[in-house]
Amino acid sequence: MKIAFRCGVQAILAVAAIASAHADVVRIVVDGTINPVSAEYIDRGIARAADQHAQAALIELRTPGGLVDSTRDIISKILASPVPVIVYVYPTGSHSASAGFYILESADIAAMAPGTNTGAAHPVLAGGTMDPIMKEKVENDLAAFMRSFAGKRGRNVEVAESAVRQSKSFTDQEALQQHLIDYIAKDPGDLLKQTDGKTITRFDGKTAVLHTAGAQIVDYDRTMKEEILEFMMDPNITFLILIIGAAAIYFEFNHPGAVIPGVVGIIFVLLAIFALNLLPLRFAGVALLIAAFVLFILEAKLGTHGALGIGGTVLMVLGALLLVDGPIPQMRIHLLTAIAVSIPFGLLTIFLLNIAVRARRNKVVTGARGLIGEVGVAQTQVRPRGKVFVHGETWNAYSEAGIEPGQTVRVTAVHDLTVTVEPVSVGASAGSTLN
């Protein structure tokens, strides 16, 4: 019985070992800026790899950089990951710069495809130039951040720190020779073959052996919410959506009851606000956009022959350029986008506002209010009440002055179905009729 029991245990362990040896590798593809959306996606991908007891989480990384806070969030998840994390700069021709370099160095295994590059991790103050003291503080902080994990991962700390302090960049061969990465692999399959059987030391000091040669790569896709937010994390898209929403809401105010423009406008504006909340928003840009709208309204009311309208357009362009305080060009609104959106919007807004203001200033010519100022003829005595013929109709009339039949009258007020009239001279009557 004991022999049989031992044989059974050994068989179970053998099956478990085989299953472990062929466990999946969960692939997480990051192609774009590092932001809160990509941080959430990587976090969920690592959690999925842990839930599936995968051999590793493979992060295919190609990025120009991104936000420091999101980078810190991603690295904290990588360092605490229950499963080994492989970060792979792929495919050939791509790069992992700035924030991507930190993520690459934090991995259990760092790898690059031939023809890729990494580095240039010097901190940049979004939207301006740092003063010397602030520059030194930020630089020292991020250099210490790099040292906090690069050494424990077996990387060359001195060279890694040079990418932070001196903005150095490295090709795949240079990174391998200077011990910044562990492998150069032509594709994910080649990388898994090279890492098979490797014993790695996790960040917590424990060791693990990778069995990746026969592992199946399982893609972990973004959710619909993440796809939409990732699309909107482009500040140029967010600005365009914000302006379209504002224009739709304005159209609804000028055409009450249209409903659809109002609903679309509210949805677009809320989406833009949500995306801007995830981006490094600069309130000076918001203030400039508000000032631009004020100038557009004043242009329509005061009629300054375009002076205020041009000023509003200039403010809108400046507000757009300052709206998102991104640390890299990919996270800022481009000048071309700001001009291409602001000028047509300014012209359209001024045109529509002028139409609305003129319509409000025009004399009402329909309904009861349209009778005021009209000239007619008394059909009976009006002392103080009687009847007059005005605008092709006979009306009950009231007048404090005595009016004789056939006398010319002018309507001064309308109340219910009674018009208040006053007598006019023949000359005034003719002049009024000509008007």
| Dist CA 21 CA 280 (whole Å) | 44
Size of the chain in residues = 435
Q: Are residues 296 and 401 in the same domain?
A: no
Mean pLDDT across 313-342: 89
Verify that 126 and 170 share a domain, yes or no: yes
Range(s) of the domain holding residue 285: 234-361
Residue 330 covered by a domain: yes
Each residue's pLDDT tens digit, 92-108 = 999 999 999 999 999 99
Same-domain check for residues 159 and 120: yes
Check residue 433 and give its pLDDT. Answer: 40
Domain total of the chain: 3
48 and 93 belong to one structural domain: yes
Q: Which of 57, 59, 147 is nearest to 102 (CA)?
A: 147
* pLDDT (mean) for 378-395: 89
- Asked if 264 and 289 sit in the same domain, the reply is yes
The answer, yes or no, to whether residue 216 has pLDDT greater than 90, is yes
Residues 258 and 111 in one domain: no
Q: What's the pLDDT score for residue 267?
A: 93
Question: Among 126-135, 141-150, 295-304, 343-352, which is the least confidently predicted range?
Answer: 126-135
* pLDDT band with cut points at 50, 70 and 90 for residue 126: low
Residue 24, domain member (yes or no): yes
Residue 7: pLDDT above 50?
A: no
Residue 2 has what pLDDT? 43
When pLDDT is averaged across residues 291-314 and rounded to a whole number, the result is 81
Whether residue 198 lies inside any domain: the answer is yes
Tell me whether residue 132 is in a domain. Answer: yes
Mean pLDDT score, 200-212: 93
- Kindly state whether residues 331 and 406 are assigned to the same domain: no
Structure confidence at residue 383 (pLDDT)? 87
Which domain-ending residue is among 341, 361, 381? 361
Q: What is the CATH number of the domain that holds 150?
A: 3.90.226.10
Instruction: Identify whether residues 97 and 200 lie together within a single domain.
Output: yes
Where residue 258 falls among pLDDT bands split at 50, 70, 90? confident
Task: Give the pLDDT confidence score for residue 211 in this predicted structure.
Answer: 92
- For residue 227, is it within any domain? no
Out of 310, 344, 361, a domain closes at 361
Q: Please say if the pLDDT value at position 10 is more than 60.
A: no
pLDDT of residue 434: 35
Residues 283 and 317 in one domain: yes
Residue 229 lies in a domain: no
Kindly tell me if the per-residue pLDDT of 301 is higher than 50: yes
Most confident of 170-174, 211-215, 320-324, 401-405: 170-174
**Chain-wide mean pLDDT for the chain?**
85
Residue 11: is its pLDDT beyond 70?
no
Q: Is residue 267 part of a domain?
A: yes
The reply to whether 207 and 75 lie within a common domain is: yes
The residue out of 361, 378, 405 marking a domain boundary is 361
For residue 239, what pLDDT is reported?
93
Asked whether the predicted pLDDT for residue 127 surpasses 60, the reply is no
Same domain, 372 and 257: no
Whether residue 418 is found in the same domain as residue 277? no
CA 54 → CA 83, 216, 217, 294, 315, distances in Å? 7, 10, 10, 57, 53
In a domain, 112, yes or no: yes
Q: What's the CATH code of the domain at 392?
A: 2.40.50.140
As a whole number of Å, the CA-based R_g of the chain is: 37
